[in-house]
Structure 1
Amino acid sequence: MQSLVSEVSFSGLRPVVHLALHLIVPGVVALTWYRERWFRAWLWLLAGWLIDLDHLLADPVYAPERCSIGFHALHTASAILAYGLLTVPKRTRLLGLGLLIHIGLDALDCWMMH
């Protein structure tokens, strides 16, 4: 019974926790590895959130129990490979890292759904 209660209460919080992690994790990465220019790095890492624009092509746009990975165009294996390649040139590294962090957090959310 206790696990059912915690599962029900967490299921309502899951979207809030998910969105909070999309802000917090890039911030921790920026503060840890880019301390001198953490704010600028954090903004570039947050730019990874832009891939959620592909949600606008889905019907419905928001489905709380839908896993983004593999469903949305910018959340596919080929897109993820491209994001990995963006981490190679120094000029696009932060954006690529932000995109990969975003994908990782979305994958975590999919895992938490099941």
Structure 2
Amino acid sequence: MLRLSIHYGIHFFLPLGIALFFYKPKFLKVYFIFLLGFLIDLDHLVATPVFSPDRCSINYHFLHSYLAISIYILAIFWEKTRLIGIGLVCHIIADTTDCMLLNSGF
């Protein structure tokens, strides 16, 4: 239960903190864009089973691959894609943390 709380806490509160700190005048719009990073979880729909609580998403699903992650990081450096890039990287940070907790037996 704690692993789940940490995982989803990062998913929701890391983007919120970034939106409030760096984009305060328009933080709600920015926060919504960051949350669009959840769309990369659509790649779970092609996995069998679709959801497995003991599976690490990183480099298992194609939108969680190392190549995709490097593209998300690069997106941060281009102004037109910066917000979605930050949202995607926040998503990857949450999933990476979940993998680390899973591998530590948490």
Query: C-alpha distance in 2, partners of 1:56/1:102?
Result: 17
Give the deviation of 1:108 after TM superposition. 0.5
Query: C-alpha distance in 1, partners of 2:79/2:36?
Result: 16
Q: Provide, for residues 57-113 of structure 1, a one-character-per-residue CA deviation record: whole Å limited to 9, x for no partner.
A: 111111001000010000011101111121122111010011011111100000011
Matched, 1:102 2:83: no
Larger CA Rg, structure 1 vs 2? 1
Q: Is the 8 A contact 2:8 2:94 kept in 1?
A: no
Letter matched to residue 73 of structure 1: F
Residue of structure 2 aligned with 1:28, choices 3, 17, 25 = 17
Q: Provide, for residues 18-67 of structure 1, a one-character-per-residue CA deviation record: whole Å limited to 9, x for no partner.
A: 12321111101100111111011101111111100001111111100100
Moved >6 Å (runs of 4+) = none
Identity over aligned pairs, percent = 42
Aligned to 1:8: none
Query: C-alpha distance in 2, partners of 1:16/1:81?
Result: 27
Matched, 1:80 2:69: yes
Matches within 5 A, 1:7-18: 12-18=1-7
Listed as ranges, the gaps of 5+ residues in structure 2 are none
Query: C-alpha distance in 2, partners of 1:113/1:104?
Result: 14
Q: For this pair of structures, how many residues does the alignment match? A: 103
Q: Looking at both structures, which has the greater relative contact order when contacts are Cα pairs under 8 Å and sequence separation is at least 6? A: 2
Q: Is the 8 A contact 1:30 1:39 kept in 2?
A: yes
Aligned to 1:111: 100
Q: Is the 8 A contact 1:15 1:64 kept in 2?
A: no
Query: C-alpha distance in 1, partners of 2:59/2:94?
Result: 14
